[in-house]
Amino acid sequence: MSVVGAEYEEANTAIANELRDVIEHHVDPQSMRWRKVPGETEYSGVEMDGVVYKIGDVVAVVPGNDSNADRADSELSVISHCINKFANNVWFIRIMSFYEHPTEKEDGKPRKMLHGQWFTHGSRTILQETSHSQELFLLNECDGIAVASISQRCDVRFLDVHEAEEPDNADPEARNFFYRYLYDDEEHSFLDPPSEVGNEYPLKCPSCKRQADMKLYNSLQIVDDGLALHGRVYHVDDYVYVKSSSVKKGLVLFIARIIKINCSTTDIALASDVTLRPGQLRLRHYERDPEDPRKICWTRHTNCVDAEDLDGLCFVQPFDLDQHADEDETVAWVDSHPDHFYTGAEDDFKRCEDCFEQHVEELKQAEGLALRFDKIPVLEVFSGAGGLSQGLEQSGFFKTSWAVERSVPAAKTFELNHPESKVLCADINDLLRYSVDLRDGKTPTPLLSSHNPPIPIPDNWIPRPGEPGLVCGGPPCQSFSGANSHKKEDDPRSSLPFTMLSVAEVYEPNYFLLENVTGLLQHSVTSKAGDGGLVKKETLKLIIRCLLALNYTVRFKVLQAGQYGAPQDRERLIFFGAKRGCKSPEFPIPTHAFMKPAKKYQLFIQNDFIPPAKRGRAPGDNHIFAPHASVTIKDAIGDLPAFDWTNPHTLRPRTPADVAKVDQRVASGIRQFDSGTAPVGFSDPVAYATRPRTGYQRAMRRGDQPTVKYHFTDKSTPFPTEASATVPLEPNANHKHLPPEFFAHSTLKRVGPACFGRLNADGCFKTAVTSVKPRSRGSYVLHPEQYRAISVLEAKRAQGFPDDYILWSGAQSKTGQISDYYRQIGNAVPVPLAAALGRSLQAAFVETWKRMPREGSPEL
């Protein structure tokens, strides 16, 4: 790949001179006259010096002043230019209509104008130098410009949904172009262009229609005895989320019921000191039960708010658990949707039944479509222990029919927990070679597993092209990870995302999901040709470019697992791909009020960021409020039996105070275990310490099992054991809080990132790691209230794996087995994040199914 630069300056100057000659001719044309279709009132075209331009033509115009300052700055970057000389020197616009300017004159006559929708060349998108040299992208922007600014008509062809792009011959003289996608330069997404527009100017222009729709969307409207704003309709007795006036009051949205709406144009006096202004709503607030935040209770608090203070609807069912309601029914209701709550017996329970029934009907419709079309077959690649599949399957909408994982222990873990799946314990490249040979009519040699000795994998276990509805996976991320301080540019693991793209090419799913660390965004390489310059963000660009070439629309975003109910600070980069014609999935809106929301990541120029997922629908509304409190460590593991590592006191002699402290902890129910032999802790299944106290604990303890496994750690040598037992039981304490004698040990002689870090019970787990060793640099794995590292079971809960999820290892030693367990857990996608992604994919599948009767929709 070569970076286009100075060698093309001379050629670009020549094309610029040619265009200048054309423009000078058009600025003072000898003739210019309108064309009309007989009987029509609008202009159908214009003839300028014998050349006819008509509606629908794509024409080139010489660049002027770009109103988008950031994009104008990007134009100055040599790297954004491509090899196509023509595209480097013009802007492209599709003529949507012609008209006469109401005030500007030419030779005493109204200036002839055209209204058009802009295109941009691929080199001016995030693709930059990786773009196809002849591909244009439609923009959501339009303008009125003078007809005389046209330089010439362009040959631009729209590619049909199933039509593949032409090979890029990188011809610098090419004047023919194609397009198939709309580029959203705010979200940096590549989507299907709009296919339906209105019939009347300006709404015949898709961009005008979108602007008109957005203006209406962001305007307060009175509809059906209610108010509409940002795509939501509010009625009396709807239950709504209410934003706080300040983050200092907390990040969890309030819940209230609308008791009155002023749909008039005058004030309404509700009491001597209360006035409801036009467009305002009167609310009755409800408080959450401390024991169960999904249960809400009536309060006397009322107030008046503007519609902008609301953040959507929630849905409430009355259940009287003290009388007759089945607790399982209540649990099923609240677990079926993040916006579901319940209340106890209320004599005057009210709700807007029309809105409630509409919501229930939408859920039933999705369930009905799922039954009609059966569950979506999923092929998970680099499946590991199965966190992604575990989350996707929670919706009841997906089934992982095939999983590919080279590691024998991880593959066995997946198989034990997904007995209906065909688990291919093999190298993905071997599977691809086998499938390509089959596709090409060859007779491949049997695919062999990674076991020792290898086992032939039956041919009927191999998916065929078109069978998976979704291909998903998280390729190993070590070459991109910030935790890897020894990165190499030629690390072969950097190519694994492209192996996943090969899987999409071979199996042709309608949907594609790729998960990885945020470090992938920064991965750059040195060009192997040309001037040897740095290709910035090369992996990001090429993933998008490959998906576009395979006819997938593309969205990507950084999501924070903690904002979707994981008790963990873990950002992940997610790519969604959808076959053209299929509904592109929206990213899930945050459901939990997490103190460290996903960050904005800068791209190539100042003020150009990848925006994080958000709940606010209004422009610029980036609030971080959410319906549910973040899940804390205490929420996640507070029901588990307690134990400590026994302090060996090799550095500090045991004192009577130490003995008394241990006796006190034992009396309070905290078991003491010697850390010299693995496993350390409850080697046999053990009873829970308490009943489930939070919704998260209830979800982890699915079923009625009275005992739990894996509540143990690996063994530990005396120094890390004593250090772990000496770091104070204080949030975020670490090795810096140890007494001086500890610093003589080799582990602490070199001061660097904190080690022996203690977690905060009211905070969250740090990003899950594959090795739980308190002495490791940057390690925060000490239990917040007990003298030890977190157990295997607690690591499982940090990632959202249910307690009955089985872990497997073929290691001979206990330490080897425990290391396998931690590694499998740490490598997984957090299950709550995967579940949120599953809800988004489900919604996209349902919308695509609804489109199926329409002509041209893809088959599923």
Taking residues 371-377, what's their average pLDDT?
86
pTM strictly above 0.75: yes
C-alpha triplet 397, 338, 289: angle, nearest 5°: 145
* DSSP summary character for residue 675: S
Q: 493: pLDDT confidence band, cut at 50, 70 and 90?
A: low
Residue type for position 698: R
Average pLDDT of the chain is: 89
Confidence of residue 8 (pLDDT cuts 50, 70, 90): very low
C-alpha distance across the termini of the chain, in Å: 37
pLDDT band at 81 (very low <50, low <70, confident <90, very high): low
Residue in 380, 515, 386 with CA at minimum distance from that of residue 802: 386
Indicate the SS3 state at residue 839: helix
Predicted local confidence at residue 344, as pLDDT: 87
Lowest mean pLDDT among 170-179, 564-573, 848-857: 848-857
Distance CA 20, CA 621 (A): 44
Question: Which tops the pLDDT comparison, 20 or 156?
Answer: 156
The structure tokens 């060793």 sit at 773
Is 60 exceeded by the pLDDT of residue 322? no
Q: Return the pLDDT at 325.
A: 55
Q: What is the pLDDT of residues 769-782, one digit of tens each?
A: 899 999 998 899 99
Catalytic, out of 425, 477, 582, 755? 477
Instruction: Give me the pLDDT at residue 270, please.
Output: 84
* Structure token digits, residue 457: 């994998």
- Predicted confidence band at 83 (pLDDT cuts at 50, 70, 90)? confident
Element (H, E) at 716: none
pLDDT in tens, 740-761: 999 888 778 765 788 999 999 9
Give residue 448's pLDDT.
Answer: 96
Task: With cut-offs at 50, 70 and 90, classify the pLDDT of residue 400.
Answer: very high
Instruction: Write out the two tokens for 487.
Output: 């990165």
Q: How far apart are CA 487 and CA 480, in angstroms?
A: 8
Q: What is the pLDDT of residues 233-283, one digit of tens each?
A: 999 999 999 999 877 667 899 999 999 999 988 888 887 678 899 999 999
* Confidence bin at 827 (pLDDT 50/70/90): very high
Q: pLDDT band at residue 477, thresholds of 50, 70 and 90?
A: low
* Average pLDDT of the residues in 562-580: 98
For residues 404 and 382, the answer to whether their CB atoms sit within 8 Å is yes
d(Cα 245, Cα 247) in Å, to the nearest integer?
Answer: 7
DSSP secondary structure letter of residue 642: P
Nearest to 576 by CA among 529, 532, 511, 637: 511
CA–CA separation, 208 vs 204, rounded Å?
A: 8
CB 317 within 8 A of CB 351: no
Give the DSSP per-residue string, 190-209.
EEPPP----SSTTTTSHHHH
> What's the mean pLDDT in 537-557?
96
Q: Would you state the pLDDT for residue 857?
A: 47
User: 393-397, long-range: CB within 8 Å, 24+ apart, which pairs?
Assistant: 393/838, 394/831, 394/835, 394/838, 395/835, 395/838, 395/839, 395/842, 396/370, 397/366, 397/370, 397/838, 397/841, 397/842, 397/845
If one counts every other C-beta atom within 10 angstroms of the C-beta of residue 40, the result is: 8
Side-chain-facing half-sphere of 774: CA atoms under 13 Å: 31
Closest among 841, 847, 840, 801 to 376, alpha carbons compared: 841
Provide the percentage of residues in the chain whose pLDDT is more than 70.
Answer: 87
Neighbouring C-beta atoms of residue 524, cutoff 10 Å: 13
**CA distances (Å), origin 569, targets 55, 766, 833:** 53, 5, 12
pLDDT band at residue 641 using 50, 70 and 90 as cut-offs:
very high
Closest by CA to 335, choosing from 785, 695, 672, is: 695
pLDDT class of 329 with cuts at 50, 70, 90? confident
Q: Does the pLDDT at position 204 exceed 90?
A: no
- What is the distance between the alpha carbons of residues 726 and 788, in angstroms, rounded to a whole number? 10
Mark whether 477 is an active-site residue. Answer: yes
Residues 6+ apart with CB under 8 A from 263: 222, 225, 226, 227
Residue (of 766, 767, 770) closest to 476 by Cα position: 770
**Residue 848 host element (H or E):** helix 831-851
Both tokens of residue 29? 């044309």
The Cα-based distances of 842 to 199, 413, 575, 621, 830 in angstroms read 33, 26, 16, 26, 18
Q: Per-residue pLDDT for 197 more than 50?
A: no
Average pLDDT value for residue range 606-624: 90
633 closest CA partner among 567, 700, 730, 688: 567
pLDDT above 80 for 633: yes
Residue 17: its pLDDT value, please? 62
What is the dihedral sign for C-alpha 747, 569, 288, 256? positive
* Residue 321 pLDDT > 50: yes
Alpha helix ranges (H) inside 532-655: 538-549, 633-637
Q: Hey, what domains does the chain have and what are their CATH numbers? A: 6-215 (2.30.30.490), 219-352 (2.30.30.490), 374-627+834-851 (3.40.50.150), 633-828 (3.90.120.10)
The predicted pLDDT at position 199 comes to: 45
Distance from C-alpha of 167 to C-alpha of 841, rounded to nearest angstrom: 31
Looking at residues 393-403, what average pLDDT do you find? 95
Mean per-residue pLDDT, 306-325: 84
Is the Cα torsion angle 522, 525, 526, 529 positive or negative in sign? negative
Confidence of residue 67 (pLDDT cuts 50, 70, 90): low
Q: Is residue 57 packed enough to be buried (19+ CB in 10 Å), middle (13-18) or exposed (0-12)?
A: middle
Mean pLDDT of 808-835: 97
Between CA 480 and CA 482 the distance in angstroms is 7
In eight-state DSSP terms, residue 594 is -
> What pLDDT does residue 696 have?
95
Q: Residue 856's pLDDT band (boundaries 50, 70, 90)?
A: very low
Please compute the mean of the pLDDT values over residues 399-412 and round it to a whole number.
Answer: 98
Q: What is the CB-side half-sphere exposure of residue 813 using CA atoms within 13 A?
A: 7
Helix residue spans in 192-296 (DSSP H): 206-217
> 373 pLDDT band (50/70/90 cuts)?
confident
Contacts of 460-463 spanning 24+ positions with Cβ under 8 A: 461/402, 461/422, 461/424, 462/424, 462/431, 462/434, 462/435, 462/438, 463/379, 463/401, 463/402, 463/435, 463/507
For the ranges 39-43, 482-486, 522-526, the lowest mean pLDDT is seen at 482-486
pLDDT at 6 over 50: no
- Residue 555 in contact with residue 576, Cβ under 8 Å? yes
Residue type, position 476, single letter: P
Tell me the mean pLDDT in the region 682-711: 93
Residue 113 has pLDDT above 80, yes or no: yes
Cβ contacts of 454 within 8 Å, gap of 6 or more: 448
- Across 325-329, average pLDDT: 73
Handedness of CA 213, 217, 221, 223 (dihedral sign): positive
| Six token digits for residue 461 | 């276990």
Among 440-449, 483-492, 695-704, which is the least confidently predicted range?
483-492
What is the residue whose two structure tokens read 């310059």?
533
